[in-house]
Amino acid sequence: MSRLRRILTSAVLALLAALPPPIALAAVDPVPAVGGAWPVGAHPWIVRGWEPPATAYGPGHRGVDLAAPPGSPVRAVAPGRVSYAGRVAGRGVLTVELAGTGDPPLRTTYEPVRASVRKGAEVSTGDLLGTVEASARYHCPTACLHWGLRRATAYLNPLGLLPPWLLGGGPSRLLPLTGAGTPPSVWPPWLWAAVPRGEEILPRPGEAGASGRGGHGPPPSAAEAGPGLGLTSGPGLSPARPAGPWPPPPP
C-alpha cells in the first residue's frame, strides 16, 4: 500500500510540475500622471473610453477617442521624444516616448494625425505635434482623435497620464498647479485658442468675469456642438462593442 501511495504521489507531483503557471488576465502597471495637457482642446468630449480586453486578442478598446474635427491642433500630453511619425494602414500615426517613465518607457500614440514634427524631435508639454487628419477610416462614428498608451506591448489607459484637475476631479484650472500664480495675460495663446467662447473657466485677458458653463460641466448637445462632431447629450462613453480590425502598432 505504501509503495502504491508513493507511486501516486510521484505521479501527481510530476503532473503539477508540468502544468503551465496561471495566466494573469491583466497586468498591474500603474500609469504615472506625468501629463499636463489634453491632446486636443482644453477639455475634449470623450466619444469612447478605455475598454481593456479580457485577453490579449479579445474585444475591447485599446485607447480613448476624443471628438476633434479635421484640422484640430494635436499637442504633446507630456514631454518626450518623437519615436515614430509616419503611416500605418493608411493612417497618419505619431508616437512619443515619454521622458522619465521607466524602461521600457511609456509610449503615447495619436492618430490620425498629419505630423508637423519628425522622428527624434524632443517635445515639451503642449507643443504642437500636428493636426487631426481628414480620414475616411475613422473608427469613431464621426471625426475623432484616437489616443493610445503602451509600455512595450501592453496597452494602458492614457487617461491615467492626466492629473485629477485636468480630468475634472480637482479645482478648475487651465494650468498645472505650479503655474497657478501666473496671470492670465501671459498664459500661452494656444491655451486660450483651444477654449471655445462660453466655455471659459477663468476670464480671458482683458475681459472681466467668466461666462457660460464651466469646462467641466455637462457635455454640449449636438445642436450646440455644431455639425461634424455628431455628439450626443448622453453619458461620456459609448456602449462597449467588439473592436474592429486593429492596425499593427507603430514601431
Between 116 and 202, name the one with better pLDDT.
Answer: 116
Between 89 and 247, name the one with better pLDDT.
Answer: 89
Between 48 and 20, name the one with better pLDDT.
Answer: 48
pLDDT at residue number 15: 52
Tens digit of pLDDT for each residue in 72-101?
Answer: 999 999 999 999 999 988 889 999 999 999
Between 140 and 137, name the one with better pLDDT.
Answer: 140
Q: End-to-end CA distance of the chain: give it in Å, rounded.
A: 62
Q: CA distances (Å), 186 to each of 74, 192, 204, in order?
A: 22, 11, 11
Map out the domains of the chain with their CATH numbers. 46-173+185-225 (2.70.70.10)
Tens digit of pLDDT for each residue in 34-46?
Answer: 999 999 998 899 8
Give the range among 27-31, 43-47, 114-118, 129-133 with minimum mean pLDDT.
27-31
pLDDT at 135 over 60: yes
pLDDT at 53 over 90: no
Residue 58 Cα to chain centre, angstroms: 20
Mean of pLDDT values over 226-250:
40
pLDDT at 146 over 60: yes
Q: Residue 147 — pLDDT band, cuts 50, 70, 90?
A: very high
pLDDT at residue number 107: 97
Q: Residue 128 — pLDDT band, cuts 50, 70, 90?
A: very high
Identify any residues that bridge with 115 across adjacent strands, giving them in sequence order: 130
pLDDT at 30 over 50: yes
Side chain identity at residue 111, one-letter code: E
- Whose grid coordinates read 512619443? 96
pLDDT at residue number 191: 45
pLDDT at residue number 219: 41
Task: Say what the pTM is.
Answer: 0.58
Mean of pLDDT values over 3-15:
60
Round to whole Å and give the CA distance between 75 and 235: 26
Q: Can you read off the three cell numbers belonging to residue 61? A: 478598446
Task: Please state, rounded to an integer, the average pLDDT across all residues of the chain.
Answer: 69
pLDDT at residue number 52: 76
One-character DSSP codes across the chain: -HHHHHHHHHHHHHHHHHSPPPPPSS---PPP----S-SSSSS--EEE--B--SSTTSSSBSSEEEE--TT-EEE-SS-EEEEEEEEETTEEEEEEEETTS-SSPEEEEEESEEESS-TT-EE-TT-EEEEEPP-S--SSSSSEEEEEEEETTEEE-GGGGS-HHHHTSS---SS-GGGTTS-GGGS-HHHHHTS-TT--SSPPTT--S--SS-TTSSPPPHHHH-TTS---SS-SSPPP------PPPP-
Q: CA distances (Å), 19 to each of 23, 27, 206, in order?
A: 11, 21, 70
> Is there a contact between 201 and 214 (Cβ–Cβ < 8 Å)?
yes
Mean of pLDDT values over 11-30:
49
pLDDT at 118 over 80: yes
Round to whole Å and give the CA distance between 143 and 66: 9
Round to whole Å and give the CA distance between 60 and 56: 10
